[in-house]
Amino acid sequence: MKTYYNPEDLKKFGNIGEFQPSLAEKFFAYYGEVFAEGALTAREKSLIALAVAHTVQCPYCIDAYSVDTLEKGCSEQEMMEAIHVAAAIRGGSSLVHGVQMMNKVKELSM
Amino acid sequence: MKSLHATQHALADPLTQLDRLEAGLRDQLGLPLFQQRLAEAGLFPLRPTQMEIFQINLGKMCNQTCAHCHVDAGPDRKEIMTRDTMQLCLDALATSDVPTVDLTGGAPEMNPHFRWFVEECHKLGKHVMVRCNLTIIVANPKYHDLPAFYRDHGVEIVSSLPFYNADKTDRQRGKGVFKESVRALQMLNAVGYGKEGSGLLLNLVYNPAGAFLPGPQEGLKRQFKRVLWSEFGIVFNDLYAITNMPISRYLDYLFTSGNFNGYLEKLVNAFNPAAAQGVMCRNTLSVSWDGYLYDCDFNQMLELPVAPTAPRHIRDFDDSALQQRDIVLHQHCYGCTAGAGSSCGGTTT
């Protein structure tokens, strides 16, 4: 069955340099450095990435960072809590616009 | 849960395991065989370095039946080392400069001659390590004094704890194992193990509870230290991250969970020549419960004895002849060369 997303394509991510090598090289060097141990641990960064993967709803990233967080010894509870953070921000970002709606409604109402 | 051996499972046969691994790699996945990758790295044939560790398997009997066990150990396994074979090991050790004796099983403590053997190794001036599954310490009152026994003989403890919570640990090692392991770790801490300045080493072994590779060892150690201390007041020295070897019960898990191809691909793609340089078979000799010699505990379980050019039984031990051997390799060896490498002492790079 043909689909827009093919799990096998994740393994080909490194091949994007085929069409534009220098930018790909710079991107992957930057990517590697972003995820290295720093002021945040590699483990913390992986949990952030897992949450962001759900926010941007990227199936490749969800697969990749489910594995990465497991490899880094995150518990299943930690992984789900990270996703709840993403969900809370997404939900909250809709809801906070309710203030704008209220402002408008109050402006127009007697 | 019963062993593969007790249920006469097809994968209880080492030849079946080896055939399915090779067929999977070559025919299903079209990936290079291990020997080929090693040759490309300039390491074939693989030769021993200085022998530093005698790893002696005292038997397959165990109080646990872990889902990933490469030994296929359990309460239904009766193969254990006799005192006569232990004496042959001591005779060999007495003639050798090998500094470390690494005792494994099964649960080595279940062998009735275990304590005598540890005492004799200690008398020879060898550094003794015991791969203790922790729960044996609390399994029966006759084992409750093991921490004191270990302390009195300066034994280094290496214990499996696949996760810092009960859920994942019990899924891999059996119901209730985490709780009992915590109790045993607290008993070991109580006699000084893992405490700074005590000189009593308590090292933990992490291996993934599933079809994925271990992440960086340092990060895992940090997390285990933080949680075990804050939740249970437990301290330990080091944490060794070990890759699950695709053999025996773990191989069965890979097949039944549909992860066989994916896991093999992961191991092969993560082949690291630097890790291959440091594989443990180069400085270890593995002795089976019946005295036969192997390059490692995994080869032992796959019934792949040392090359025929070397002595093959402990009664014929000859250090210099063993040094001349080529190490026996098969496709499972990818498990020790993936990523940062894997050995009984953790990563190898």
B237-267 pLDDT, tens per residue? 999 999 999 999 999 999 999 999 999 999 9
Closest by CA position to A77, among listed B163, B40, B254: B163
Please report, for the domain that includes residue A44, its CATH number: 1.20.1290.10
The arithmetic mean of pLDDT across residues B116-144, rounded, is: 98
Residues in chain B with CB shorter than 8 Å from the CB of A37 are 219
Looking at the 3D structure of chain A, how many domains does it have?
1
pLDDT class of B144 with cuts at 50, 70, 90: very high
Predicted local distance difference test score (pLDDT) of residue B55: 98
Predicted local distance difference test score (pLDDT) of residue B1: 87
Of B163, B167, B214, the CB nearest to A71: B214
Distance in angstroms (rounded) separating the CA atoms of residues B109 and B159 = 13
A1 pLDDT above the threshold of 80: no
Would you kindly state where each structural domain of chain B is located, as residue ranges?
A: 48-243+280-324
Residues in chain B with CB shorter than 8 Å from the CB of A72 are 215-216, 219-220
Please check whether the domain covering B48-243+280-324 is classified as CATH 3.50.50.60.
no
Say if B312 is an interface residue toward chain A (CB within 8 Å): no
CB contact under 8 A, B223 and A43: yes
Closest by CA position to B130, among listed B155, B94, B95: B155
Residue A36 lies in a domain: yes
What is the dihedral angle through the alpha carbons of A96, A101, A106, A109, rounded to the nearest 10 degrees?
-160
Distance in angstroms (rounded) separating the CA atoms of residues B53 and B86 = 16
The whole domain housing A53 covers: 20-108
Closest by CA position to B51, among listed B327, B282, B326, B293: B282
Say if A68 is an interface residue toward chain B (CB within 8 Å): yes
Residue A49 lies in a domain: yes
How far is the first Cα of chain A from the last one, in angstroms, to the nearest whole number?
58
* Residues forming beta bridges with residue B129, ordered by sequence position: B102, B156
In angstroms, how far is CA B49 from the centroid of its own chain?
A: 20
Say if B268 is an interface residue toward chain A (CB within 8 Å): no
Q: Is B342 helix (H, G, I), strand (E, B) or coil?
A: coil
Q: Are B208 and B148 in contact (CB under 8 A)?
A: no
pLDDT digits (tens, 9 = 90+) for B88-99: 999 999 999 999
Say if A8 is an interface residue toward chain B (CB within 8 Å): no
The arithmetic mean of pLDDT across residues A48-73, rounded, is: 97
CB contact under 8 A, A73 and B206: yes
CB contact under 8 A, A68 and B215: yes
Nearest CA in chain B to A37: B219
Interface confidence: ipTM more than 0.95: no
Predicted local distance difference test score (pLDDT) of residue B129: 98
Residue A68 lies in a domain: yes
B177 pLDDT above the threshold of 90: yes
Predicted local distance difference test score (pLDDT) of residue A2: 81
CA distances (Å), B281 to each of A52, B12, B47, B54, B196, in order?
Answer: 42, 23, 9, 11, 31
B278 pLDDT above the threshold of 80: yes
C-alpha distance from B346 to closest chain A C-alpha (Å):
15
Q: Pull the structure tokens for residue B284.
A: 């270890």
Say if B210 is an interface residue toward chain A (CB within 8 Å): yes
Residue A80 lies in a domain: yes
Q: Is A109 helix (H, G, I), strand (E, B) or coil?
A: coil
Could you give phi then psi for residue A44, rounded to 5 degrees? -65, -40
Nearest CA in chain A to B168: A75
Predicted local distance difference test score (pLDDT) of residue A3: 86
pLDDT class of B338 with cuts at 50, 70, 90: very high
Residues in chain A with CB shorter than 8 Å from the CB of B220 are 72-73
Q: Pull the structure tokens for residue B62.
A: 């165990």
Q: Give the DSSP per-residue string, B17-48.
A: HHHHHHHIIIIIS-PPPHHHHHHHTT--S---
Q: Is B180 helix (H, G, I), strand (E, B) or coil?
A: helix
Residue A4 lies in a domain: no
Share of chain B above pLDDT 70, in %: 100
The arithmetic mean of pLDDT across residues B304-333, rounded, is: 97
pLDDT class of B313 with cuts at 50, 70, 90: very high
B204, B207, B212: best mutation site toward chain A, by most A Cβ within 10 Å?
A: B212
Amino acid in position B108: P
Task: Tell me what the pLDDT averaged over chain B comes to.
Answer: 97
Predicted local distance difference test score (pLDDT) of residue B241: 96
CB contact under 8 A, B168 and A75: yes
Of B168, B214, B219, the CB nearest to A43: B219
* Residues forming beta bridges with residue B286, ordered by sequence position: B55, B294
Which residues in chain A (21-60) have CB-CB distances under 8 A to chain B? 37, 41-43
Distance in angstroms (rounded) separating the CA atoms of residues A68 and A49 = 9
C-alpha distance from B210 to closest chain A C-alpha (Å):
9
Predicted local distance difference test score (pLDDT) of residue B229: 98
CB contact under 8 A, B212 and A75: no
Of B163, B168, B215, the CB nearest to A72: B215
C-alpha distance from B238 to closest chain A C-alpha (Å):
16
Residue A55 lies in a domain: yes
